Structure 1
Amino acid sequence: MRMPKMSRTTRTWRAVLVLAGLVVLAGCGRQADDRPLLPPRGFVADPAKGEVAYRKYCAACHGEDLRGTASGPPFLSDIYRPGHHGDIAFYKAARDGVRAHHWRFGDMPPVKGVTAEEVGHIVAYVRRRQREAGIR
């Protein structure tokens, strides 16, 4: 059976309603965090600073060697390649936490005390280590 063709106006309103619903659902159950998501314009990431920040904020769960632990997944995994989890995913996870979706470690809580600049350095460090491991 063929579905009747929708007008452009109907399709537009349907898309607007779907997007509005997604925005509402995205905010459910989360408390707003006033920390900036991204570093300020002109920020230059430094992988050496990222290694220090990684050890402080990330290594306990994601492993000193980025290969994961019993508490968190490895960053030296194709799942965390830039084309699958872009840099913005690291910023959002650090600030807002993230629901478990690839692994069975449970939800990741927001990282207390980490700044957007520190996350930027951490991303540079992780990406450097991924390239060294052949993950592109």
Structure 2
Amino acid sequence: MDRLTMMIGGVVVAGAAVLAVNLFKAPAPGGHSMTAPDTGALAAGDPIAEVRLPAALSPLARNGKLAFEAKCAACHGDNATGREGAAPPLVHKIYEPGHHGDQSFFMAVQNGVRAHHWPFGNMPPVPGLTRGDVKGIVAYVRELQRENGIF
């Protein structure tokens, strides 16, 4: 067997192994999935997710928590748990950094978001937040996510 055939065979075997691992791997710990949960049994305004709080927040996240409470919590719930009928929880695998990077939060605040994962309708832009405010909000949400096993 020549060297090129062996290299191609190795790449094919490695690719098949990666595909198999990704197709058959277990769900992430904590039951997080990229699918929005069924919230049909919840009453309007109920929290959608259970969120464990970190023992302490960084200074940036503490500032972000204040901005979140002022501008985001009315829809996204206290500690980003979401509110049935209003907006999704941000402490959910859908919003992990690898799927919705930090920049997506800046864009959402500035431009709003067209509904695409959840059945709550479009999110309007959020006036009155500076880039520094959003940076703090992102830090706050990411620290909540890490505490809840979302990386």
What's the TM-score, normalizing by structure 1? Answer: 0.66
Aligned counterpart, 2:77: 63
What stretches of structure 1 move > 6 A for 4+ residues in a row? none
**CA drift at 1:65:** 2.5
Per the normalisation by structure 2, the TM-score is: 0.59
2:65 alignment partner in structure 1 = 51
Count of residue pairs the alignment pairs up: 92
Q: How big is each residue's C-alpha offset from its partner over 1:6-32, in whole Å with a ceiling of 9 and x where there is no partner?
A: xxxxxxxxxxxxxxxxxxxxxxxxxxx
Which 5+ residue runs of structure 1 have no aligned equivalent?
1-44
State the one-letter code of the partner of 1:111: V
Residue 25 of structure 2: aligned partner: none
Tell me the alpha carbon deviations over residues 103-135 of structure 1, each in whole angstroms, 9 at most, x when there is no partner: 111100000111111000000000000000110
Which residue of structure 2 aligns with residue 114 of structure 1?
129
Structure 1: how far apart are the matches of 2:71 and 2:105? 12
Task: Please state whether the residue corresponding to 1:123 is helix, strand or coil.
Answer: helix
- In 1, distance between residues paired with 2:89 and 2:150? 12
Gaps of 5+ in 2: 1-58
Corresponding residue for residue 134 of structure 1: 149
CA distance in 1, matches of 2:61, 2:79: 15
For residues 90 and 133 of structure 1, the distance between their equivalents in structure 2, rounded to whole angstroms, comes to 19
Q: Does 1:124 align with 2:139?
A: yes
Matched residue of 1:65: which SS? helix
Query: 1:90 aligned to 101, 105, 121, which one?
Result: 105
Q: Which amino acid aligns with 2:128?
A: G
Root mean square deviation of aligned Cα: 1.0
The whole-number CA distance in structure 1 between the counterparts of 2:90 and 2:103 is 15
% same residue:
52
